[in-house]
Chains A and B, each alone.
Chain A
Amino acid sequence: MQYAILCYHDEKVTCAWSKEQDDAVMAKLGAVMGRLERQGRLGPVARLLPTTAATTLRKDREQPLVIDGPFAETKEQLLGFYVVDCASLEEAIEIAKELAAANPGGAHEIRPVGVFFPGKVAS
């Protein structure tokens, strides 16, 4: 079974970390990731940019609505995610709209990825 491990923290706190604090945390995480990678058990890892860089597409209406800011509702749950390579936010929104047309209801939060590690899970 593959598991997704989702990371939550107060970004007001993590953004207040000094570069040294941030580097120290990343180095400690890197050690754990390195071991999992050598065992062929580490899939893709992404560090997302802060929610201030987020855009949300509400797809629970006829015409999807683009809103600045992160997904803020609590009555819906995180069900999955895509990582897409785009030249601009506009392109990412277009892809999200295509996905929305295929599966309306709920929302897509569109977040730029800061650090991406593709990983590989041995089958």
Chain B
Amino acid sequence: MTDAGWISSILTAARPHAVAALLRNFRDLDLAEEAFQEACLRALKTWPKNGPPRDAAAWLIMVGRNVAIDAVRRRSRLQLLPPEELISDVSDAEAAVADRIDEADYRDDILRLLFICCHPDLPVTQQIALALRIVSGLSVPQIARAFLVSEAAMEQRITRAKGRIAGANVPFEIPGAAERFERIAAVAAMVYLVFNEGYTTSVAEHGARAALCEEAIRLSRLLLRLFPTEPEIMGLAALLMLQHARAPARFDSQGRVALLEDQDRTLWNRRLIAEGLALIDKAVRHGRPGPYQVQAAIAALHARANRADETDWPQIDLLYGTLERMQPSPIVSLNRAIAVAKVRGPADALAMIEPLASKLGGYFYFHGARGAFLLQLGRAEEARVAFDRALALANTPAEAAHIRAQLDRLADGAAL
């Protein structure tokens, strides 16, 4: 790897720790970010010469803090500038800082930093953009590309989000156990949103948006290191890894959606699957199931099947039943119906989703699934009406293409 390559990997890895600690110091997000940026510039200057410090995060915090204090002084013109070497020469002090800042300190600092991004006053898209900018350190152009908006629009969105949280009271005291748990849950939900934002995509946008999925996985690993005994965090990380492992197979060579049962499973990322399976295995030992663990367990059953017809559908049906009880939602019931169709046949599945029509009438997947069940039952005319509805509600060209393929199949069948 080139110098710039290894340095940027280290800076990226240290960013959440360093920005979080600087935020605690200065209690000002902009100042913390500026201090971190300045520390990174100095790292790019001195690390190639001196080699990377043993504890990069501690170095960046120390230098960032000196730089920011210096900037404040410079503004107030009270003191002359200290020489450059004094600011960046922290090799002696570094070990002492590293001793003082252990993982436990980072834990609440980073959780606070993440929690700020999920402030309830912020709309979801702003939460995600803010987390990607502040915690992950993605550049505004990178985030704009991932959201498919202009850089100017994204810049404005992030500035607006920062303005909103600047006015909000961010708690800086160490949270109590119950409060910490609430924060973890809010942050986990935000990480899941980042992932979904990247997952809902078409092939043309796939490259740019896959970065969001990768960032979400990185954030889930970060959470896992901070809270190694939370089974729901293990479940969240496992869920994201198992879903993202299928990304290389989600579109066929023509850019059409490949449904799970049609995917070329040799394209699945085996290393991510191994990690996801290990994590869900670890989570279930706790005997404290939660929605992320159940969803991860469902994804794990798909991942374990080398061929679509080896899928353990009865177990998936049971797990969706558990999820329905934990988190009742028509979407979960719709997903369960897919498993029910495999286990008990399309008639049962259709009977199960018919009552959802009032809630899911505007939902693409509802009409797509309904059409598929009707088709399997040989009710071609009703299937065609359902597919037409789905086509009108398709969100992406790939979704539309998939439904058109179903309609073509119907038309062929009718001609026979």
Q: What residues make up the interface of A, taking CB atoms closer than 8 Å to B? A: 10, 12-13, 15-18, 21, 24-25, 49-53, 55, 66-69, 88-90, 112, 114-115
Q: How far is the CA of A52 from the CA of B237 in the complex (A)?
A: 10
Verify if B13 is at the interface (C-beta below 8 Å from A).
yes
Extra contacts, 19 of them, besides A13-B9, A68-B229 (Cβ < 8 A), are A10-B56, A12-B14, A16-B12, A18-B214, A49-B278, A50-B221, A52-B228, A52-B279, A53-B275, A55-B282, A66-B285, A88-B281, A89-B278, A90-B281, A90-B285, A112-B274, A112-B278, A114-B275, A115-B271
Q: Does B380 contact A (CB under 8 A)?
A: no
Interface centre among B10, B222, B225 (most CB of A within 10 A): B225
Residue from the list A21, A24, A68 in contact with B228, Cβ < 8 A = A68
Contact A15 B274 (CB under 8 A): no
Q: Are A53 and B278 in contact (CB under 8 A)?
A: yes
C-alpha spacing A52/B224, complex, angstroms: 6
Given known contacts A21-B1, A114-B274, is B9 in contact with A52 (CB within 8 Å)? no
A-B contact pairs, 24 of them (CB 8 A): A10-B10, A10-B13, A16-B12, A16-B218, A18-B214, A21-B5, A24-B1, A25-B1, A49-B275, A51-B225, A52-B221, A52-B224, A52-B228, A52-B237, A52-B279, A53-B275, A67-B229, A68-B229, A88-B281, A89-B285, A90-B285, A112-B274, A114-B274, A114-B275
Q: B282: which of A16, A21, A53 is its contact (CB, 8 Å)?
A: A53
4 tightest Cβ-Cβ pairs between the two chains A and B:
A69-B228, A12-B13, A112-B278, A53-B278
Q: Within the complex, what minimum Cβ distance (angstroms) separates A91 from chain B?
A: 10
B271 pairs with A89, CB closer than 8 A:
no
Main secondary structure of the interface of A (DSSP, over half): mixed
From B221, B229, B278, B281, give the contact of A15 (CB < 8 A). Answer: B221
- Taken together as a complex, chains A and B put the C-alpha atoms of A113 and B271 apart, in Å, by 10
Mask: chain B, 6-30; 1 = CB below 8 Å from A; 0 = not: 0001101110000000000000000
The dominant DSSP class at the B interface is: helix
Report the minimal beta-carbon distance from A18 to chain B, rounded to whole angstroms.
Answer: 8
- Give the interface of B toward A (CB within 8 A): 1, 5, 9-10, 12-14, 56, 214, 218, 221-222, 224-225, 228-229, 237, 271, 274-275, 278-279, 281-282, 285
Of the residues A15, A24, A67, A115, contact of B218 by C-beta under 8 Å:
A15
**Minimum Cβ distance to chain A for residue B143 (Å):** 17
Q: Contacts of A13 on B, CB cut-off 8 Å? A: 9-10, 13
Q: How far is the CB of B298 from chain A (nearest CB, A)?
A: 18
Taken together as a complex, chains A and B put the C-alpha atoms of A74 and B19 apart, in Å, by: 28
Asked if A69 contacts B9 (CB within 8 A), the reply is: no
Q: Which among B13, B228, B229, B275 is the interface contact of A16 at CB below 8 angstroms?
A: B13
Q: Distance in Å from the Cβ of A65 to the closest Cβ of chain B?
A: 13
Which chain B residues lie closer than 8 Å to A24 at the CB level?
1
Residues in A whose Cβ lies below 8 Å from that of B279: 52-53
A51 contact set on B, CB distance < 8 A: 225
Residues of A within 8 A of B271 (CB): 114-115
Q: Shortest Cβ distance from A108 into chain B, in angstroms?
A: 15
Q: In the complex, which residues of chain A have a beta carbon less than 8 angstroms from the beta carbon of B225?
A: 12, 51-52
A69→B229 contact, CB < 8 A: yes
Q: Which residue of A lies closest to B17 (CB)?
A: A12
Q: Which residue of A lies closest to B238 (CB)?
A: A53
Contacts of B13 in A (CB 8 A): 10, 12-13, 15-16
Shortest Cβ distance from B118 into chain A, in angstroms?
22
Residues of A with C-beta under 8 A to B281 = 88-90
The listed residue with most A CB atoms (<10 A of its CB), out of B14, B229, B281, is: B281
Most buried by B among A10, A12, A67, A115: A12
Chain A neighbourhood of B274, CB < 8 A: 49, 112, 114
- Chain B's closest residue to A17 (CB) is B9
- Please, which residues of chain A bring their CB within 8 A of the CB of B218? 15-16
Minimum Cβ distance to chain B for residue A52 (Å): 4
B395 to chain A, nearest CB (A): 27
Interface centre among A68, A88, A90 (most CB of B within 10 A): A68
Set of chain A residues within 8 Å of B9, measured between Cβ atoms: 13, 16-17, 21
Residue in chain B with minimal CB distance to A92: B281
The docked-state distance in angstroms from the alpha carbon of A19 to that of B258 is: 23
Q: How far is the CA of A66 from the CA of B228 in the complex (A)?
A: 13
Taking CB atoms, residues of chain A closer than 8 Å to B214 are: 18
B56, B275, B278 — most chain A CB neighbours (10 Å): B278
A66: chain B residues at CB < 8 Å are: 285
- In the complex, A55→B10 CA distance in Å? 26
By a CB distance below 8 angstroms, the chain A residues around B278 are 49, 53, 89, 112
